[in-house]
Amino acid sequence: MSRSLSPLIALFALAVLYALPAIAPRAMVQDLFGILTLLVLAMNWNLLAGFAGLVSVGQQAFVGIGAYAMFAAIILMGLDPLVGVVIGGIAAAVFAVPMAFFAFRLNGAYFAIGTWVVADIARLAISQWKALGGGTGTSLPKGTAKEMAFVDGIKEMLDVSTAAAADALTYWLMLSLAVAMLVASYIFLRSRMGLGLQAIRDNENAARSVGVDPLKLKAAVFLLTAFATGLCGALAFIQITRVTPDAAFSVIDWTAFVIFITVIGGIGTLPGPIVGVVVFYALQRALADYGTIYLIVLGCLGIAVMLFARRGLWGLFTDRTGIDPLPLRHRPPRVAKPSHSA
Amino acid sequence: MSILSLRSVSKSFGALKVTDDVSFDLQPGEALGIIGPNGAGKSTLFNLITGNIAPDQGQVFLDGRDVTRTPPMQRVVAGVGRSFQIPQPFGDLTVYENLLVAARFGGGLGGREAGVFCMDILDRTGLGPVAEKKAGGLSLLQRKRLELARAMATRPRVILLDEIAGGLTDGECVELVATIRAIHAEGTAIVWIEHVLHALNSVVERLMVLNFGRMLMIGAPDEVMASAQVREIYLGIEA
């Protein structure tokens, strides 16, 4: 029964999420936007670390470059912010090429440190970009939100202020990005490339011996997740409306929390980041009044999960119940065997 | 034309010459056995053929084409399959998925065709009943069979078997040899490193003896085994 019900529940939840700007207060939409941002980042990091074995601590590079490319597109080229978001994604993917060139020479912990260093170099380089405010950053020009495509239509449809309409638009886009990420990850991991990736994760040497090219597959994942992370970063900063190198390239905001979410939810499992982000959000709300205690609790929970449930809460759940609505397993074909031999 | 040729291949690790001027030709469909004491450079020779190690000197040819600089993945696609001495399964994947990776990448098969092909190999290697079990939980015999089955799934024309019968009971060994003989009968060329000589000699047409990286002898198994030099070096029997 639960098997036939779960898609219905998922569809209902999705419908509620899409309807939210029409029925919920603006603060809640903004809140959820932040959560969805972390979800998209976590899904990307999960693909990298959980499936491709690339434990990157430099994902903030792509968020920052996506954000700055979007600002450049608006301020320097006068383009629509939504076009800027796409440019942000492309810029991040382009930056990923030289980054991969250096970082892929490193393995494991060295790769992690290497990506972090590259991200910080990017932060320092962007701080020199005077046209975008240098180290102090810059804001979106006044009226950017008003002139953004679709905002007028949404304003009329929901009967809200321009700012709320812009929030609704970015929220819908981020929600759609999250859904697209989930669907794309599922299709990718079920594909030939995804199968090869899982083989590499289990034994890289053996994978090579059956014809899998680890470098090619890892590079593909690195570039694709850089693109999605760049899109996400650009979109996030439309809503924030102000960018500084420190905020856009923050390792805490864009990578540390994301690692935490993925690890407690279930690294290397598809629904893990969703579970993780729900837990993260619940903790954030419950502990919002306690200041630093909140971070301490997060840290302790993260350690506990790493020690006692290495595949996270979702891994624990599937191990206990056997329920897995998004299975990545390939089942053998049912061959109708002839009863007589020819 | 030979399917696999080595021309004066040499490889040193530091001062140690592990492969020293080795040349041989393998005909399509032929089975060649390789014996030699531990440390004679047998597994290194395999790594030179698969491309996991690059030779210092000499060339490797597949179908007459020089593949000395070709990366391992492309050599698999070109038809060189291998099994590892110590089984290296994809532990978190099922037995079926282990083969599916090989069939879809090395074998170049797609979709349902790949699936049916893999199930056929699993049935032939006696792994059908555990097809949907995680490979990490298999017994030693099953792991050895999986090594063979996964190599077969890359659709090799030359299959390299590295001590696949080692550590098995006599009964298990007989079953495995029957499977290998069946693969050979279908026309797949085999290069087989083995210490279990009766298993090896029941399949191969030629036997090569390696000692300190050098090819000591190559020829019909009876002649090689009868050689005084081989008996002394390999079997430790005073001639």
**Measured between alpha carbons, how far is A45 from A258 in angstroms, rounded to an integer?**
7
Residue B100 identity (one-letter amino acid): L
What proportion of chain A, given as a percentage, has pLDDT over 90? 64
Contact check, Cβ <8 Å, B91/A335? no
Q: How confident is the model at residue A3 (pLDDT cuts 50, 70, 90)?
A: low
pLDDT digits (tens, 9 = 90+) for A250-281: 999 999 999 999 999 999 899 999 999 999 98
Is 3.40.50.720 the CATH number for B1-79+156-239? no
Residue A335's pLDDT is 63
Contacts of A329 in chain B (CB under 8 A): 94, 97
Q: For B91-119, what is the mean pLDDT?
A: 93
Q: How far is B72 from chain A (nearest CA, A)?
A: 7
Contact check, Cβ <8 Å, A210/B52? no
Contact check, Cβ <8 Å, B97/A202? no
Q: How confident is the model at residue B237 (pLDDT cuts 50, 70, 90)?
A: low
Tally A–B CB contacts below 8 A: 92
Q: What is the separation, in whole angstroms, between the first and last Cα of chain B?
A: 38
Residue A342's pLDDT is 37
Contact check, Cβ <8 Å, B102/A210? yes
Dig out the tokens for A108 from the structure: 């494991």
Residue A319's pLDDT is 85
Residue A70's pLDDT is 95
Contact check, Cβ <8 Å, B90/A208? no
Q: What is the separation, in whole angstroms, between the first and last Cα of chain A?
A: 44
When CB atoms are compared, the residue of B89, B132, B154 closest to A332 is: B132
Left if phi > 0, otherwise alpha if psi is -120 to 50, otherwise beta: which for B227?
A: beta
Residue A190, chain B, CB below 8 Å: the answer is no
Please state, rounded to an integer, the average pLDDT across all residues of chain A.
90
Any domain includes A341 = no
Any domain includes A342 = no
B49, B85, B97, B158: which to substitute to probe chain A, counting the most A Cβ within 10 Å?
A: B97
Is the pLDDT at A296 greater than 90? The verdict is no
Any domain includes A297 = no
Is the pLDDT at B31 greater than 70? The verdict is yes
CATH number of the domain where residue A62 is located: 1.10.3470
Q: Which of B207, B158, B212, B208 is nearest to B183 (CA)?
A: B158
Q: Which of B65, B86, B88, B87 is nearest to B75 (CA)?
A: B65
Residue A1's pLDDT is 45
**Measured between alpha carbons, how far is B126 from B114 in angstroms, rounded to an integer?**
18
In chain B, which among 151-190 make CB contacts under 8 A with chain A? 151, 153-154
Is the pLDDT at A337 greater than 60? The verdict is no
> What is the per-residue burial (b if ≥16 Cβ within 10 Å, else e) of A122-146?
bbeebbeeeebbeeebbebeeebbe
A198, A210, A267: which to substitute to probe chain B, counting the most B Cβ within 10 Å?
A: A210
pLDDT digits (tens, 9 = 90+) for B161-170: 999 888 888 8
Any domain includes A328 = no
Q: How confident is the model at residue A90 (pLDDT cuts 50, 70, 90)?
A: very high
Q: How far is B159 from chain A (nearest CA, A)?
A: 12
CB B199 within 8 A of CB B165: yes
DSSP class of residue A331 equals: P
Residue A336's pLDDT is 58
ipTM over 0.90: no
Compute φ and ψ for A277, nearest 5 degrees: -70, -35
Taking CB atoms within 8 Å and a gap of at least 24, the contacts of A316-319 are A316/A266, A317/A275, A318/A269
Q: How confident is the model at residue B134 (pLDDT cuts 50, 70, 90)?
A: very high
**Measured between alpha carbons, how far is A32 from A258 in angstroms, rounded to an integer?**
15
Angle at which helix A26-45 crosses helix A2-23, to 10 degrees, equals 130
**Measured between alpha carbons, how far is B230 from B237 in angstroms, rounded to an integer?**
9
Cβ-count burial of B86 within 10 angstroms (0-12 exposed, 13-18 middle, 19+ buried)? exposed
What's the structural domain count of chain A? 1
Is the pLDDT at B238 greater than 60? The verdict is no
When CB atoms are compared, the residue of A199, A203, A333 closest to B115 is: A333
Q: How confident is the model at residue B235 (pLDDT cuts 50, 70, 90)?
A: low
Q: What is the residue range of A140's domain? A: 2-250
Secondary structure class of A232 (helix, strand, coil): helix
Residue A332's pLDDT is 87
- The 10 Å Cβ neighbour count of residue A216 is 11
Q: What's the full length of chain A, in residues? A: 342
Residue A309's pLDDT is 86
Q: What's the full length of chain B, in residues? A: 239
**Measured between alpha carbons, how far is A207 from B138 in angstroms, rounded to an integer?**
18
Q: How confident is the model at residue A341 (pLDDT cuts 50, 70, 90)?
A: very low
Any domain includes A159 = yes
Residue A154 identity (one-letter amino acid): I
Is the pLDDT at A326 greater than 90? The verdict is no
Residue A230's pLDDT is 97
Q: Which of B26, B71, B16 is nearest to B47 (CA)?
A: B71
Contacts of B73 in chain A (CB under 8 A): 208, 211-213
Host H or E run for residue B210? strand B206-211
Three-state SS annotation for A92-114: HHHHHHHHHHHHCCCCHHHHHHH
Domain positions in chain B are 1-79+156-239, 91-155
CB B34 within 8 A of CB B193: yes
Compute φ and ψ for A52, nearest 5 degrees: -95, -5
Compute φ and ψ for A8, nearest 5 degrees: -65, -45
Is the pLDDT at B198 greater than 90? The verdict is no
**Measured between alpha carbons, how far is A247 from A150 in angstroms, rounded to an integer?**
28
Any domain includes A267 = no
Residue A195, chain B, CB below 8 Å: the answer is yes
Q: Which of A309, A84, A66, A39 is nearest to A185 (CA)?
A: A39
**Measured between alpha carbons, how far is B196 from B194 in angstroms, rounded to an integer?**
5
**Measured between alpha carbons, how far is B82 from B227 in angstroms, rounded to an integer?**
30
Is the pLDDT at A126 greater than 80? The verdict is yes
Contact check, Cβ <8 Å, A211/B50? no
Residue B50, chain A, CB below 8 Å: the answer is yes
Contacts of A213 in chain B (CB under 8 A): 71, 73
Residue A310, chain B, CB below 8 Å: the answer is no
pLDDT digits (tens, 9 = 90+) for B212-228: 889 988 999 988 888 88
